[in-house]
Structure 1
Amino acid sequence: MQALNDWFQKGLTVEEYKNQMTAHKENMDEVARKFSLPDDQDFFSELAARHLRVIVLTEDWCGDAMMNNPVLIALGEAADVDIRFLLRDSNLELMDQYLTNGTARSIPIFIFIDEEGREVAKWGPRAQKVQSFVDEARSTLPAKEDPAFKDGQDLLIKHLTAAYVERKDFWVEVYVELKRTLQTT
């Protein structure tokens, strides 16, 4: 699986990714400041012993990435997991191998690989609790043909962004799902 190793090598480090951000940098930094990993040292040690790395398909305009990436970064720091970021729109060849429901280029996608570059786990784009919240919020939107749709969608995005920056329960759920995903592989 040299290919995933090649994608990993091509990726941006955490600092390089943060430095190129323009859209959600402040929000992502706020989530990172407020989020604390649970005291889960046994899990961090087990994860570190596996020598995993992760490729993150992302874009800085994405609210889900703004919320999920800081959780992954904190986990990576605690468990010595090296992370590389690839911008989705510049890496469609890889993105199209990780479509949500076989059709959507939803992000972020976290691809965990071993030392040989074999995929051992994949997670994203949302924790189930967050997906339910988004589905509920979207259910109030008018039909796309409705002239009020664009304004409604703009308000929805503001509502979701605020929730993503404030809802600690969402961040915890992302962590719980990541842990569950990594423990079952």
Structure 2
Amino acid sequence: MEITIAKALFSSRSYAEYRKLVSDLLRDEKSTGTMQSTELTHYSSLNENRMNRLDKTLVVPAEIDAKIKELKGNYIWLVISEGWCGDAAQLLPVFNKMVEASEDRIEMRIVLRDEHEVLMNKFLTNKGKAIPKLIVINKETSGALAHWGPRPLGASTLITDYKKQHGAIDEEAKTALHLWYTKDKGLTTQLEIIDMMIDLDKEIEAEENDDSYFAY
């Protein structure tokens, strides 16, 4: 396994452990990350409420649920996140619901961006440290296969268009973004990720068939 990913997995957290970390820090009026501020703590508090709501209300549609259960490979989703990140708060509960639907085909582990700079630098978006970033790892070979993030297409387009028009992201843009997530209900994210996983599953199966051929 590539050493950077190995180190990240060693210090990673489960979804439940990540949620507890964010909650415990908020009790001390802190956020995750190397920088601390009233603003970041405020965002972490908002995100805590968002994740609590999404954990209760999010569903995996039957069609996607069936596709997840048809995956043949075994995977780890290594997610780079921070408690103050609004996109992460909207997306990690979606990831978790898909993992639960996988019936142990997928395991999710979470690391904090500021604690894993080397890993983050390998998965930049337009040279920026945008999160969350989901890294798909083959559990059998420990190799990184693909990555997804930091946003589904519709949300990314919204932010890109807003930047072009206004030059920067402000509170109005953030409000519009979270409204998009609320209306979408995690569906676009689930569709994009399951399509990626199906493609990866086919690639792994093809490689295994090739290995079987050359073994004789």
Equivalent in the alignment of 1:130? 155
Gaps of 5+ in 2: 27-43, 201-216
For the Cα contact (< 8 Å) 1:129–1:170, is it kept in 2?
no
Gaps of 5+ in 1: 145-151
80, 96, 113: which one aligns with 2:137? 113
Give percent identity, aligned residues only: 24
TM-score by length of 1: 0.84
| CA distance 1:59–1:117, change in 2 (3 Å) | same
How many residues were matched structurally?
A: 173
> How far does the alpha carbon of each residue in 1:17-66 deviate from its partner, in whole angstroms, 9 at most, with x for none?
0012240111122223222101134422233x311011100111111111
In the TM superposition, residue 68 of structure 1 has moved relative to its aligned partner by 1.2
Larger Rg: 2
Equivalent in the alignment of 1:25? 48
Distance 2:73 2:60 in 1: 19
Distance 2:159 2:56 in 1: 24
87, 92, 96: which one aligns with 1:64? 87
SS of alignment partner, residue 184 of structure 1 = helix
| Pair 1:74 & 2:97 matched | yes
TM-score by length of 2: 0.73
Alignment of 1:34-183 (within 5 A): 34-39=57-62, 40-47=64-71, 49-79=72-102, 80=104, 81-101=106-126, 103-115=127-139, 116-141=141-166, 143=167, 153-164=170-181, 166-167=182-183, 169=184, 171-183=186-198
2:68 aligned partner, one-letter code: F
Asked which structure has the greater RCO (Cα within 8 Å, sep 6+), the reply is 1
In the TM superposition, residue 130 of structure 1 has moved relative to its aligned partner by 1.3
For the Cα contact (< 8 Å) 1:14–1:83, is it kept in 2?
yes
2:146 aligned partner, one-letter code: A
For the Cα contact (< 8 Å) 1:53–1:114, is it kept in 2?
yes
RMSD: 1.9
